[in-house]
Amino acid sequence: AQTVTQSQPEMSVQEAETVTLSCTYDTSESNYYLFWYKQPPSRQMILVIRQEAYKQQNATENRFSVNFQKAAKSFSLKISDSQLGDTAMYFCASGHSGAGSYQLTFGKGTKLSVIP
């Protein structure tokens, strides 16, 4: 079974500053994927960034980047130049292709508030 832990229930950051959200996971799988999803007040789940575990290079998407530490099973999300629209719940998730199912396991989320 996979577990995902987000130890920061809430965080805040000043607009234009940088913030890092923490995530640790546990899995016995050798082939797995890691994700960060954003859930704004509209509650739509939006994929922010994806990392394949076999890739050593950290994924980046514009202002969003990850610090993937495979040995430590850590997968943190860095948001640079924070914008008001970044205010949302952020969920870390992991997944693997066990028994032909690509189900995702989510953490409990971190509520991020960007302060003007």
Ramachandran area for residue 53 (φ above 0: left; ψ -120 to 50: alpha; else beta):
alpha
Only one of the segments 14-22, 32-40, 56-64, 80-88 lies at the binding site for another protein (rule: CB under 8 A); that segment is: 32-40
Are residues 112 and 22 in contact, defined by beta-carbon separation less than 8 angstroms? no
Are residues 24 and 75 in contact, defined by beta-carbon separation less than 8 angstroms? yes
Q: Per-residue x/- marks for another protein, 48-87, CB under 8 A?
A: --x-------------------------------------
Binding site for another protein (CB under 8 A): 4, 33, 35, 37, 42-47, 50, 91, 93, 95, 99-109
